[in-house]
């Protein structure tokens, strides 16, 4: 299950890069946060798939649950912004511009102040935005993590 979770994350990241570099969609700060969360989930799930010790599996599953919850929260917030766009459309500077211009302790809070560009709906599939799909995928990852936490360890 962890290998499939890692593969899902890699596929989602590849699709996000496709949308950015081929289609030309610029990610907002909330998209960047979700992207980095997917990278962490992929790395943890990949490590969990390689090291199959029962205790390690539980630690990885718990960490995945926390990361998936965080990713789902950011995606839900972005979805809410898309459904209820703010009057002043200003997401601020792009992520890389913020990193270059401000110290890290100021950048982190700026990233989570999503509005404006974060509320833009640039792409949909089956009526759902990228943030909606991201939310659903983070819920799927959380369900996998919960399943792993609830599973009894296999004796080899």
CB-CB contact of 110 with 98 (8 Å): yes
Stronger pLDDT, 108 or 83, i.e. the higher one: 83
Per-residue confidence (pLDDT) for residue 92, from 0 to 100: 47
Residues 6+ apart with CB under 8 A from 87: none
pLDDT tens-digit readout, 126-146: 988 888 999 999 999 999 999
For residues 21-29, give the mean pLDDT.
84
Q: What band does 154 get if pLDDT is binned at 50, 70 and 90?
A: low
Residue 82 tokens, joined: 């898309």
- Please give the residue that has the higher pLDDT: either 153 or 146: 146
Q: Which two tokens stand for residue 119?
A: 């509320």
Domain residue ranges of the chain, discontinuous segments joined by +: 2-150
The pair of three-digit structure tokens given for residue 117, joined into one six-digit string:
């560009």
Cα distances from 104 to residues 70, 96, 101, in angstroms, run 20, 11, 9
- What is the sign of the dihedral through the CA atoms of 61, 66, 67 and 68? positive
Over the stretch 34-85, which tens digit does the pLDDT of each residue have? Answer: 999 999 999 999 998 888 888 888 899 999 999 999 999 999 988 888 887 7
* Residues designated catalytic: 28, 31, 35, 91, 118
Of residues 101 and 129, the one with the higher pLDDT is 129
Asked if 91 and 29 count as a contact pair (C-beta separation under 8 A), the reply is yes
CATH superfamily of 2-150: DsbB-like (1.20.1550.10)
Query: Quick one: average pLDDT of 102-112?
Result: 63
Structure tokens at 1: 């299950």
């Amino acid at each position: 299950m962890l290998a499939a979770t890692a593969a899902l994350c890699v596929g989602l990241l590849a699709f996000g890069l496709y949308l950015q570099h081929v289609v030309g969609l610029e990610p907002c700060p909330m998209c960047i946060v979700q992207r980095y969360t997917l990278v962490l989930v992929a790395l943890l799930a990949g490590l969990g798939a390689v090291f199959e010790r029962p205790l390690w599996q539980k630690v990885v599953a718990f960490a995945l649950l926390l990361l998936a919850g965080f990713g789902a929260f950011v995606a839900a917030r972005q979805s809410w912004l898309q459904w209820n766009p703010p009057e002043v459309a200003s997401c601020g500077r792009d992520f890389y511009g913020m990193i270059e211009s401000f110290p890290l302790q100021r950048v982190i809070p700026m990233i989570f102040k999503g509005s404006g560009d974060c509320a833009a709906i640039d792409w949909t599939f089956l009526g759902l935005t990228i943030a909606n799909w991201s939310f659903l995928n983070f819920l799927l990852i959380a369900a996998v993590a919960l399943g792993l936490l609830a599973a009894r360890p296999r004796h080899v």
